[in-house]
Structures are given as structure tokens and as C-alpha cells.
A and B are shown apart, each in its own frame.
Chain A
Amino acid sequence: MSLEYAAAGAAPETTADDMIRCESLTKAFRSLDGKGETLALVDFTLSVRRNEFITILGPSGCGKSTLLYMVAGFERPTRGRLLVDGQPVTGPSPERGMVFQEYALFPWLRIRDNIAYGLRQRGVPKARRREVVAELLELIGLSSFADYYPNQLSGGMKQRVALARVLANDPKLLLLDEPFGALDELRRTALQDELLRIWEAHRKTALFITHSIEEAIVLGDRIVVMSAHPGRITTIVDVPLGRPRDRSSDEFNAIRRVVTQALKEGAAASGSPAALDA
């Protein structure tokens, strides 16, 4: 396969199994005074296999959201190359579904219409839309809330709707930007389990941003640990545990120690310039 791709003139190092390919991705923003620039993300290189679940862990200011927004197509990289399924990203697309931390449901649409929104935009007939919506409502356990408005639901319920709304488009890629960040511990854990259940059923490539170490280990096949100022990869940690994962097992805690250590090292490495800034 890869030989054929090379012969066809595609990037020779790209294998057919790579869903996302980031090569030296760099994003610079103009600083507020307009003179200099701030590096949000530097030399981010990562290949994500098809159906792989990647968690990206780092402190605020490490560029993890910037990365996600570039993959989603909301932001353009300043330098470097970004391929999704072999194609360069040129803008937002229903093939790359995003779940935002602030839910971003349309408050004027009922739950069923929020979930059907993408299908309606793509001209899917009404009968089919109704089928898909019923299926997804079942999947997220909110069938009896179909006619509610988003403001009538709790944060956890809203985030489940946001996930269903994205799944309705059957995207190649799931992008999740700290989706459970605003929830309390109990609901957060419940939703992590639920997300895994849904992910097992639908099998998508997923990029999941978080600043919770435990969340990163519970969900990810691999954890990309990042450091801030400027945002860059510290290390990538494999999680060779089967799911569901026991959060209190020795293996889990061993990985927790490795990840914690990596975060500390990353903070120390970027510590001196940050201290000078302050």
C-alpha cells in the first residue's frame, strides 16, 4: 500500500493507516502590542493511526487547544504541514467533528434538532434524520429529553448531546477540547466511561485535550505530554492497558508516576523563561 502511495506521488512516509499527520506544526500569534509574536506551538510532530485514541495533556498555555483548532480547520498553521486522511486541512468540515468545552449547542434548537442539525445542513431527508436522531438519543440515554432546550439540561447532559450531534455526521475524526472540564468529579468519571463505551461502538480516531492526568490515562492509547511557553511535546507515553481501566491498579499508578514526572520535567525545562516573564 505505502509503495503505491509513494509511486502516486504522495508523501512517501505517510502510511495508509495514518489518520492525522502533523509535521513540525508551528503556530505563532501576533502579540498584543503588534510588534513581536508569541509562539503558541512549536515543532509539533505526531502521527495518529486510524481508530487511535490520543489524549493530549498539558498545562494551560501549552498550545493544546491551538493544535486542536488547527486540526479542526479553525486556525491555520504558521509553519509545518498538517494532513488528515492524507489531505491537507483547508477549513472546518463535518468530517472532523469537534466537541467544545463550553458545549456550543444551539440554544434555540431543541435537543433533537441540535442532533439533526448537521444532517439537515447536508440535505439528509427528514425520515432518515429522525432515525439517526432516535438512535443517537438512545445511545446517550437522553431519549426522553428530545424536546427539551439545551438550557434546560445539566452540563453533563449537554456534553452528551454535543457528542451525539457530532456523531450524527459520522466524522472520520473526533476532536474533544477539554469536554468534561466544567463538570464535577463524579459526572466527569461517568462521562469518561460513557465516552469509551460510545467510542468502542463507533470506533473513531480521537484527539482528546485535557489537563487531568487521570483522564488522560483512562482514555488514551497514547498520551502526548506537553509543556508551555512555548508549547511543545515533552514526551509521548504509551498506555498498554486494556479497557475499562482500573484507576487504582498498580499498572495505572505506574503510568501516573511516569506522566506526572514528565509534566514536572516539562515545567522545569520551560520554567526559567516563564519566571523571567513574571
Chain B
Amino acid sequence: MAGVLEQAGLASAEAPAVEAEPVRRRLPWQYVVVPLAVVILWEVAVQVGWVKASLVPAPHTVLTAWYVWIFGGGPATPYTGTWLTAATSSASRVLTGFAIAAVVGVVVGLATGWFLLPRMLLQPLIDLLRPIPVTAWVPFVVVFFGIQPAASISLIALGAFFPIALNAAAGAARTPRVLVRSAQMLGTPKHAMLWEVVFPSALPSIVSGLRVGLALAWVLVIVSEMVAVKSGLGFSLWDAYYFSRIDIIVAAMFSVGILGYVSDQILQLFARRVTRWASDVA
């Protein structure tokens, strides 16, 4: 490998556009300063009494409640040491629903984007269902599945399906004609074209669909747990409202935000691996 890199450096006549590995630096203060200021302002506003503590809990109150929710301690309430259970129920629903949407969405999307017959058969149905806001499905899903995790999972799968399928279809339809011809002229059998050319060509588009779908999955897990399931972070969030535990409401909000962020980072980690060829564009 070292030899290759040396060669690359020496080939001055036709130096390839290779980007250097980004150097790992410390977090610059510019990234921290605004969030920190917001938290301080928030704390001061509550302490001084600009906002009522019963409406907006101070950051330290939220952190204390969050700590107890996660690690327990003090008097036993529904929010003592139950965070992990709630978080894992929500996360597992997101993961299951998203996985179903990803598999079905990519397959349907590629098929409708590339082949005429599947497009003619499926596109009208997709176009008919897509404008219905997924949240409008909630009552139907609850009637159909009852107050069960299945209601939440199916809502997530349904909601995440559309952005994933549409992006996969757009990616497949945008497969450059010259690459298809190139593959034909090199002897690609007709039945292999989808796997050999269309799928890899559509990958960057598929990845953006997956990211949109995953973000939507977190929205839908909270919505569905508020009304259709009796567990998870969404349930905690809504339940805390009834107990007037505003500190828990805020802690739950940030919990969902953090989990959403982490899941997106993990997805991007995988995505970067499979679309490295596209990100190397000079």
C-alpha cells in the first residue's frame, strides 16, 4: 500500500485527484458557544423568574430528573430507573419498522424505477396513498392491531416506506444510459443489469431515502406510543404530561433527539462505506 501512495505522489504529470485523509482536530469553540449560551440563558431565566419554573423547568432540574429516570434512586415513581426500558422499546420498534420499510421500499422502488410493468402496476397505488399523512393512519392502525407494539411498528414501516421507495425509484430511473450501454457492450446479461448497474448507481439516492425514512421512523414511534402503545419514550412523554412532570417531558424530548441523532450517525457510517466511490469526487 505504501508503494501505491508513493507512486500516487510521484505521478506528477497526471496526478489523480485524491483527497488527503481529514486530520482529526479538537472541537472548535465556535461549535459549543451558542448551545452553551442557550443553556445558561435558560437556567438564568428560570432562576431570576422571567419564566415560571412550573412551565419551564431549569436545566439542572431536567438533568436531575433525567439522572433519576435513568439510574434510579429516591422515592419510587414511574420515572425511577425506567428510562432504559422505555428507550429500548422505542428503539426496537424503530429498528423493526425501519428494517421492513428499507427492504420493501428498496425492492419496490428499484422495480418501479427500472421496469415498466411494476411501475404501471404499483405507481398508481403509491401515488394514491402517499398524500395521506401517515399520522392519519393512527386510528385505523389502532383499530386493526389494537393497543399493541404491532400498531407502532406497522405505522413506522408504512411511513418510512414512501421516502425510501421514492428515492430508490428516482435513483434507478436516473441510471446513466451510457453506463447501461457500457454494461451491455461488456456482456452483462439482461437479468443481471438491475443488480450490476442499476442498484449500485442508485445507492447514493437510496441512502438519502433511508436517512429520511429513519428520521420519520422516530417521529412515528413517538406519535404511535402516545396513543397506541403503553410503553416507550412516547408513552413516557404523554404520561408525564398527565402527572405534570414537565422535567420528564423535556428529558424525554432530548432522549428522542439524541437517539435519533445516534441512529442517523450509525446509518451514515454504513452509508459511507458503500458509497465511498461517490464521495471521492474531486
Point out residues on A near B: beta carbons under 8 Å. 72-74, 91-94, 96-98, 100, 102, 104-109, 117-118, 121-122, 144-145, 147-154, 156-157, 165-166, 169, 187
**Complexed CA–CA distance, A165 and B276 (Å):** 22
Q: Contacts A94-B187, A147-B4 known; A154 to B15 CB distance under 8 Å?
A: yes
Residues of B bordering A, CB below 8 Å = 3-4, 7-8, 11, 14-18, 176, 178-179, 181-189, 192, 196-197, 200-201, 203, 276-278, 280-282
* Chain B, interface SS category: helix
A107 CB contacts on chain B under 8 angstroms: 277-278
Q: Could you tell me if A152 and B17 are in contact, using CB atoms closer than 8 angstroms? A: yes
Question: Which of A73, A94, A151, A154 touches B186 (beta carbons < 8 Å)?
Answer: A94
Known A151-B277, A154-B17; judge A104-B187 contact (CB<8 A): no
In the complex, chain B residues whose CB is within 8 Å of the CB of A151: 17, 277-278, 280-282
**Quick check: A72 and B185 within 8 Å, CB to CB?**
yes
Flag if B181 contacts A145 (CB, 8 Å). Answer: no
Given A144-B7, A151-B280, are A157 and B181 neighbors across the interface (CB < 8 Å)? no
Give the residue name and chain of the B residue nearest to A158 (CB): B16
Query: Which of chain A's residues have a CB closer than 8 A to the CB of B17?
Result: 151-154
Residues of chain B within 8 A (CB-CB) of A153 are 16-17
Bound form: Cα–Cα A95–B276 in Å:
32
Q: A108-B200, A151-B277, A152-B280 are in contact. Are A93 and B185 (CB under 8 A)?
A: yes
A104 touches which one: B4, B14, B182, B278 (CB < 8 A)? Answer: B182
Query: Roughly how many angstroms separate A148 CA and B280 CA in the complex, as a whole number?
Result: 10
Complexed CA–CA distance, A156 and B13 (Å)? 11
Q: How far is the CB of A133 from chain B (nearest CB, A)?
A: 14
Interface pair A169/B277, CB less than 8 Å apart: no
A73 vs B183: C-alpha distance when bound (angstroms): 13
C-alpha gap A91/B180 in the complex (Å): 13
Q: How far is the CA of A109 from the CA of B183 in the complex (A)?
A: 13
Chain A to chain B contacts (Cβ below 8 Å), 6 pairs: A91-B184, A93-B185, A118-B187, A149-B280, A154-B17, A156-B14
